Every structure is written in structure tokens, then in C-alpha cells.
Amino acid sequence: MIHQIADNVYCVGVNDWDTRTFHGHEMSTARGTTYNAYLVVDEKETVLIDTVAAHYTEELVANISQVIDPARITTIITQHAEPDHSGSLVRMKALAPGAQIICSNRGTDSINGHYHTDWPLRVVGTGDTLDCGRMKMTFFMAPMCHWPDSMMTHLGGPDILFSNDAFGQHFATPAVFDDQAQNDKLWFEAEKYYCNIITPYGRNVLNRLDELGTLALPVKMIAPSHGTIWRKQVGPILEAYRRWAQQQTENRVVVLYDTMYESTRHLADAISQGLEDEQIEYSRYNAAVTDRSDLLTEMFGARGILFGSPTWQMTVLPSISTLMEDIKTLRFKNRLVGGFGSYGWQKACVQHIEQRARDAGLEVPVEGITVQWRPREEDLERAREFGRQFAQAVKS
């Protein structure tokens, strides 16, 4: 299905209602995703901006054919050659053999690396333009938003910023624009996308936002390559990206634990009471039975994170170990971390949690709680006090 988003500008991408994982099986996509490609039809140029995942190629071709004969395409802009956006490039080039392909400098690596072709590629840099006729495109390099090859395209006239991955959401929906979507789901998916994909590159995102500001290009719409198009909340999503890139947090706590024989769960109960005593907002999840990508999103805006696990194989259970590796890989900053857990024979779990938190550059403000076998009442009181102290550290 195609959607006209401005005069002579069409969204010709596809909704993928079925997928439930992304990056292979690394990230969950509970609401599916979209692969947005855009067609700009002007006097001098007919431009296709990005394509779709390979298994949706014929749907893309059918969508374009509702507007024009694909052979009329004069330019294909590959803003980023990850296969969810470049998967139909070979087919489109075959249908429009005369079309030039525009990409960033690093895009030559990723396009050639993926498709082993000898197409001539036109490399552009920030500020380079393409005269389409009545409308003009201005290119903007956005490395690491998401890959080194990432770039964006501004279309003057309707003043649309085609932003590729940035500002996207894995969100299959009939809504084309943000104001047509369910706003709470839209924002959850936008934050989940940022957290799970863009977080390590926050410094770079801030630089790109500043640079975009200096170009002083008017932006009435932001059209990403996943999810809905921002037109009513352009300002808020730009502000959110700045806030997320700075890793601003709220004074709340997320308690994540796994348990084998309930001892660590009982500690989580007591710690939760301590948090409640201090009237701090908290949420609590058994990490073994909760979606990992959603947990990371939940943790993303929280100042305090508590990890609980029994000792298992001289370390912590895999659900907790994975999340601790994630917060290091995603380069979480400005978080306070605490540990708690039970053990039978080896008192290793909390030491392990605290060491990994410090290795990730995160502060451990309160010594953790470790209990042998099942917690007694005095252990539970220690855990309540730990919760109170941790809450105070977060609030301060």
C-alpha cells in the first residue's frame, strides 16, 4: 500500500506485521516493524530513498508501480546498507539500470561488501545537494546513527528529513503519521528502539543534532525508515533524542532478579518493602521470564538498578549475566547499581554483580546483601534496610 505524504512524495515501503525479532534474534519486536522507502517524483529526478528487506522486494516494486514505471527512477539513495533497507537494491537497479546510486563514503564499503557489484556509486557529503527540479535535496552525514555509513536526506519544499534509522520505531501500524498512532505505544517503541540500537553512540547523536541545527534546514516532518512519520511531534522527538543521548534518568529503581529456590525472590520482597518505605518509584521483574529488550528499555530511564541472583556455577544466573553484559555493551552511564542474592556453598553472586557494575563504569553506592541458604528474619530486615539505603542514594 502506498501513502502520499506530500505533493509528489510517497511512502512506498511495507509493514512487516509478522516479525518478532530483529538483528537476527537479538532484539524483540513485539509490534512488528516497517521498512519505509520513499519515492520523490520531480521534473528532473525521480528518486527512491532506501528500499526494503529482500523478502518484501516484490511488494516494493508493486507499490512503486502504482505511482510510476520503476524504470523511470533516476536516482536511488542508499542511506545505510544494512539489509533491512538495502535488501531490494539489486532488483531496483535491474529495473532502473540507468539510475545513479548515491551513498556516503562508508556506504561504498557496505554496499560493495553486501552485494559484490561494480556499480558506480556517487559519494556525497554533508551539504551536497541534488537538484530534483522544483525540490532540492540536501544530504547530511549521520555516521553511527546507526552504522558508519548512515546518512540522512533533507527534501526542501515539503521540508522532510528522511532520517533512516534515527527517530525510527519497530512498530507495524496502519498509522502513517505520529498523530494517527496510539501515542503511548509510539513513544514506548521509539524509546525501545533508541535504547536497544542507538544508545552506545550517544555522544555522536548529540554532535549530529548540533550539526543539524547549524545547517538550519526547516523540518516539518521526520520520515524514518522504520515506523511512523513524525509531523506533529517533530520538536518532542528531537528533544527526546537529546535527552536519551545524554542518558538523563529519573529517580526511580528497577529491581531485576532471577531465583532458583525462592531465596533471592524473598530478598527482592524485602528490598521492595525498603524501597516503599522511602516512597521511591520502582518496578520489579523476574528477568528469567521477561523480555530482555523490554527490560533494557525499562532500565534505560532509571537512576537505580538492582540485580538479584543466587550464586550459580560460581557466577550469576544467565538472565542476570546477560543484562549486565548488555548495560556494559550499550554503555549505560549515570546509573547506581546494587546487588543481592543467596548462595549455598559459594558466596560469589553479589561480588560478581558489583564487580561487573564497576567494570561497566557504574557506581555501587551501597554494599549488597548476600544470604546463605534461606533468609532468616534478620536477613530480611537487612534487605529492607538495604532497600531504604539504596533508595536514599538514588534520591540524593
Q: Would you call 146 a catalytic residue per the annotation?
A: yes
Q: Is residue 189 close enough to count as binding ligand FEO by CB under 6 A?
A: no
Q: Are 268 and 303 in contact (CB under 8 A)?
A: no
| Binds ligand FEO (CB under 6 A): choice among 78, 86, 138, 225 | 225
Q: Which residue is nearest to ligand FEO (CB)?
A: 82
Residue tagged active-site, from 10, 59, 80, 282? 80
Q: Is residue 50 close enough to count as binding ligand FEO by CB under 6 A?
A: no
Residue tagged active-site, from 23, 359, 363, 367? 23
Q: Is residue 170 close enough to count as binding ligand FEO by CB under 6 A?
A: no
Q: Would you call 23 a catalytic residue per the annotation?
A: yes
CB neighbours of 1 closer than 8 A, spacing ≥ 6? Answer: 63
Residue tagged active-site, from 38, 193, 201, 285? 193
Q: Which three cell numbers stand for residue 162?
A: 528522511
Q: Are 229 and 222 in contact (CB under 8 A)?
A: yes
Query: Among 132, 136, 35, 134, which residue's Cα sits nearest to residue 79?
Result: 35
Other Cβ atoms less than 10 A from the Cβ of 262: the count is 14
Q: Is residue 146 close enough to count as binding ligand FEO by CB under 6 A?
A: yes
Shortest distance (Å) from residue 183 CB to ligand FEO: 23
Stretch that binds ligand FEO, among 76-84, 103-111, 259-267, 268-276 (CB under 6 A): 76-84
Q: Would you call 193 a catalytic residue per the annotation?
A: yes
Residue tagged active-site, from 85, 146, 154, 170? 146
| Binds ligand FEO (CB under 6 A): choice among 6, 78, 85, 241 | 85
Give the CA distances from residue 146 to residues 149, 179, 198, in Å, rounded to whole numbers and listed in that order.
8, 25, 6
Shortest distance (Å) from residue 147 CB to ligand FEO: 6
Query: Among 177, 190, 172, which residue's Cα sits nearest to residue 34?
Result: 172
CB neighbours of 368 closer than 8 A, spacing ≥ 6? Answer: 338, 339, 340, 341, 350, 353, 354, 386
Question: With respect to ligand FEO, which residue has the nearer C-beta, 82 or 178?
Answer: 82
Residue tagged active-site, from 82, 178, 298, 379? 82
Rounded (10°) CA dihedral 334, 226, 130, 106? 60
Residue tagged active-site, from 16, 42, 45, 165? 165
Q: Would you call 80 a catalytic residue per the annotation?
A: yes
Q: What is the CA radius of gyration of the chain?
A: 24
How many residues at the interface with ligand FEO, by CB under 6 A?
9
Q: Is residue 165 close enough to count as binding ligand FEO by CB under 6 A?
A: yes
Shortest distance (Å) from residue 118 CB to ligand FEO: 24
Q: Is residue 80 close enough to count as binding ligand FEO by CB under 6 A?
A: yes
CB neighbours of 43 closer than 8 A, spacing ≥ 6? Answer: 132, 133, 134
Q: Are 245 and 202 in contact (CB under 8 A)?
A: yes
Question: With respect to ligand FEO, which residue has the nearer C-beta, 82 or 258?
Answer: 82
Return the residue matching grid coordinates 549475566: 321
Query: Among 267, 268, 275, 204, which residue's Cα sits nearest to residue 241?
Result: 204
DSSP SS3 for 17? coil
Question: With respect to ligand FEO, which residue has the nearer C-beta, 142 or 255?
Answer: 142
Q: Which three cell numbers stand for residue 44?
A: 528532473
Q: Would you call 82 a catalytic residue per the annotation?
A: yes
Q: Would you call 258 a catalytic residue per the annotation?
A: no
Stretch that binds ligand FEO, among 79-87, 183-191, 351-359, 360-368 (CB under 6 A): 79-87
User: Which positions touch ligand FEO (CB under 6 A)?
Assistant: 80, 82, 84-85, 146-147, 165, 225-226
Name the residues annotated as catalytic.
23, 80, 82, 84, 146, 165, 193, 226
